[in-house]
Amino acid sequence: MISETSAVAFRQNLGDMLNQVQYRHDTILIKKDGKPVAALVDARLFERIRRMQARFDALCERIEVGYATVPEVDGLAEIDAVVAETRAGR
C-alpha cells in the first residue's frame, strides 16, 4: 500500500513509519508544501529499483551507440513511425 504524509508528520512519526515500511512493506510518499519530494520504500524494493535503473541505463547506452551516426531528425521520425504503428495495432 502507498500512503502519503507531510514532511512534518514524517519527522514526528519516523519510527512508526519505518516499522510500516519494514514489516508491512508499504511505501510512504513524503510531501512538502503539498508536492512529492521523497518516498520511503523497503530495502528489497529499493534494490530492485536500483537494478532496473542500471539495466535501463545500459539499454540507453546501447541505443545511443546504435544511433550515433543517424541524424536526430531521422531518429525521431523513426520513433514516431513505430509509435504510430503500435498505437494503430491496438
| pLDDT tens digits for range 39-84 | 999 999 999 999 999 999 999 999 889 889 999 999 899 999 999 9
Nearest-angstrom CA–CA distance, 51 and 46? 9
- Is the pLDDT score of 10 beyond 90? yes
Q: Measured between alpha carbons, how far is residue 22 from residues 5, 15, 16, 45 in Å?
A: 17, 10, 10, 11
Domain 2-41, CATH number (from 3.10.129, 3.40.1620, 1.10.10, 3.40.50): 3.40.1620
Q: Where are the domains of the chain?
A: 2-41, 44-88
Confidence class of residue 87 from pLDDT cuts 50, 70 and 90?
very high
